[in-house]
A and B are shown apart, each in its own frame.
Chain A
Amino acid sequence: MSSFLARRLGQSVSILLGVTLITFCLSFLIPADPVRMLAGRSATQETVENIRHQLGLDQPLPVQYAKYVWRLAQGDMGRSFKQKTEVTTLILSRMPATLQLMAGAILFELLIGIPAGLIAAARRGKKADSGFMVLSFLGVSAPQFVTGLILLYVFAHRLQWFPLGGYGSLAHLVLPALTLGITGGGWYSRMMRSSMIDVLLQDYIRTARAKGLSPLRVLLVHGLRNAVLPIIAMVGLDIGFFMAGAVVVESVYGWPGIGQLAWQAIQVIDIPIIMGVTLVAAVSIVFGNFLADLVMPLVDPRLREN
């Protein structure tokens, strides 16, 4: 078990190194020369060379890459082109809002996905099953910006149950979190359904039925427990999906998280911020996968042996 974790940790670190290699290479694809941008149009050749030297851009590529990783390890992601602020500071200040949004979204996706998958599995092959499965497809096929704008129109503009975007109270959180939760709930209902079907085919469920327990008791007491834990352990794998969703949802609702930061950076093509958010997202995804690997054996004893 501990050797498995050590190996996974090693893998995570090597993936992170690979991630930095890709973002490092991407920064060379940018058509605009950062030195020219800093020096201004009227700079002499000498000034340009000076700045190039100061930034270390005249050094061999492996040296530049090593320095880049070293700076990242210290939490330095460079400065924003437009805002002239440290990218790390900007991202950290936006982090609480995004984490809050994610917590709400996890709550909604489980609240939607688990009951829907449970009912579909219990009514397998019946009308309710196909009904829920079409609904789950609807959830995953709806673009988040459309879901978001429609929820905003109906519940904030027409019914005025919730504020029209913004940040602060719990009421502000409901619609953005629900928007992310609808997509996630679509996936979870499908996973929950197939997990539940697997459990319901087990021998011990047949035994429970044979000794005369009510179908509802078999389903909720004996089935649900075993079917739902592996599903909840998968939440760690959602982080990538939330990071991408945050860009869309935060821009629709004016939610001041790192997604909105990325969206604002996109509009003015502020590459350091876009790269910073991409890096943070990649790190969170690797961390989330590691977390899921850590939690799943605790939940499912069968995974502990190998």
Chain B
Amino acid sequence: MNTRLHKALRNPVVAGAALIVVGIVAVALLAPWIAPHDPAEQFFDGLTLEGMPLAPGGQFLLGTDLLGRDLLSRLMFGARTSLLIGVVANGIAVGIGTLLGVAAGYAGGVTATLINRFTDLMMAFPALLLAIALAAIFAPSLWIVALVIALVNWVWVARVIYAQTAALRKSEFIEAVRSLGANWPRILFVHIVPHLVPTMLVWATLGISTTVLLEATLSFLGIGVRPPTPSWGGIIFECQSYFLDAPWLVFFPGAAILILALSFNILGDALRDVLDPTQRGKS
């Protein structure tokens, strides 16, 4: 597996994606020290005489937003919001999905039917609309947004984990372990769950891309993370009306969202190739 990992990283696209993720994580962690300005400070010289945002260049490298705040600094702090929500929400989603998938797959019978019907039901809701309904009901904050995203994103994980657990439960080696007298916690945690780790890892990576996009979309619709916390989708939401005169206010945060989501997609796909050889070259 290590050699396969090395081989995957030798692909320039995958290596580039890995480098970008490391870079964005570093920027998010170091934001308070490397950001050129305070992201919340409204600079007196941050607007033109007509009250318009400043174009990129000069003192404000990427320009300023509609309140005269430094865009680069806001983007750096926005990386924290995106990554934090991406990792936390996706982590919870993978957790819920694994728990329900394993429960349904291992218990079988009525439990499986109940859990699977519930999963089907959740799939009938478009994730974004359900998230909107939930976010409109609860006053959104960073953690509510993360929770809402997790509550609509676990279904795919549950599906995949269920199928794998159900197949494993019927496999010969599990039967052998059972006939040796192992009790169910031992069968489950020592013999089944380790086989699910690759799938969980793939979803933990791929899912971040979905989560980041969903957070950005909720913030763009005005029901995501509350200002003044900078968020990439939120910056575009705030600046949308200035867009035709100050397009950099959309281009830079938009590019940031795109690059982050793209990198996690490429990494997750590569990870799936490494961990699951049967899928290689197909998807």
Query: Contacts A30-B137, A194-B282: A262 and B132 contacting too (C-beta < 8 A)?
Result: yes
Q: Size of chain B's interface in residues, with CB distance under 8 A?
A: 46
| B254 surroundings in chain A (CB, below 8 A) | 143, 146, 149-150
**Beta-carbon contact of A15 and B124 below 8 Å:** yes
**Beta-carbon contact of A157 and B244 below 8 Å:** yes
**Beta-carbon contact of A146 and B258 below 8 Å:** yes
* Interface 9-residue window, one of B73-81, B173-181, B259-267: B259-267
| A103 beta carbon closer than 8 Å to chain B | no
A262-306 CB mask vs B (1 if < 8 Å, else 0) is 110011010100110110011001100100000000000000000
* Cα of A21 to Cα of B155 in the assembled complex, Å: 18
| A267 surroundings in chain B (CB, below 8 A) | 222
| B130 surroundings in chain A (CB, below 8 A) | 278
| A244 beta carbon closer than 8 Å to chain B | yes
| B244 surroundings in chain A (CB, below 8 A) | 153, 157
Q: How large is the interface on A (under 10, 10 to 19, 20 to 34, 35 or more residues)?
A: 35 or more
Partner of B136, one of A125, A145, A269: A269
* Cα of A74 to Cα of B220 in the assembled complex, Å: 35
* Interface 9-residue window, one of B39-47, B58-66, B209-217: B209-217
* Cα of A259 to Cα of B66 in the assembled complex, Å: 27
| B184 beta carbon closer than 8 Å to chain A | no
Chain A residues numbered 208-264 whose CB sits less than 8 Å from any CB in chain B: 240-241, 243-244, 247-248, 251, 262-263
**Beta-carbon contact of B221 and A266 below 8 Å:** yes
| B265 surroundings in chain A (CB, below 8 A) | 137, 140-141
**Nearest chain A CB to B139's CB is how many angstroms away?**
8
| B125 beta carbon closer than 8 Å to chain A | yes
**Nearest chain B CB to A78's CB is how many angstroms away?**
14
Partner of A244, one of B128, B240, B247, B283: B128
- Give the number of A-B contacts (CB < 8 Å): 137
| A144 beta carbon closer than 8 Å to chain B | yes
Query: Contacts A143-B213, A150-B254: A251 and B124 contacting too (C-beta < 8 A)?
Result: no
| A150 surroundings in chain B (CB, below 8 A) | 250-251, 254
Chosen A-B contacts, 26 in total, with CB atoms closer than 8 Å, are: A11-B120, A14-B117, A16-B124, A31-B137, A130-B13, A138-B258, A141-B261, A141-B262, A143-B257, A143-B258, A146-B236, A149-B250, A149-B254, A194-B283, A197-B282, A244-B126, A244-B128, A244-B129, A247-B132, A262-B129, A263-B221, A267-B222, A269-B136, A274-B132, A282-B124, A285-B123
Q: Which 6 A-B pairs have the closest CB atoms?
A: A146-B254, A244-B128, A141-B261, A141-B262, A18-B121, A244-B126
B residues whose Cβ falls under 8 Å from a Cβ of A:
13, 117-118, 120-121, 123-130, 132-134, 136-138, 209, 213, 216-217, 220-223, 233, 236, 240, 243-244, 247, 250-251, 254, 257-258, 261-262, 265-266, 269, 281-283
A residues whose Cβ falls under 8 Å from a Cβ of B:
11, 14-16, 18-19, 22-23, 26, 29-31, 124-125, 130, 134, 137-138, 140-146, 149-150, 153, 157, 190, 194, 197, 240-241, 243-244, 247-248, 251, 262-263, 266-267, 269, 271, 274-275, 277-278, 281-282, 285-286, 289
Known A19-B125, A241-B126; further 18 A-B contacts with Cβ < 8 A: A18-B124, A30-B137, A137-B262, A137-B269, A140-B265, A145-B216, A145-B233, A146-B236, A150-B254, A153-B250, A194-B283, A251-B221, A266-B223, A274-B129, A278-B125, A278-B126, A282-B126, A285-B123
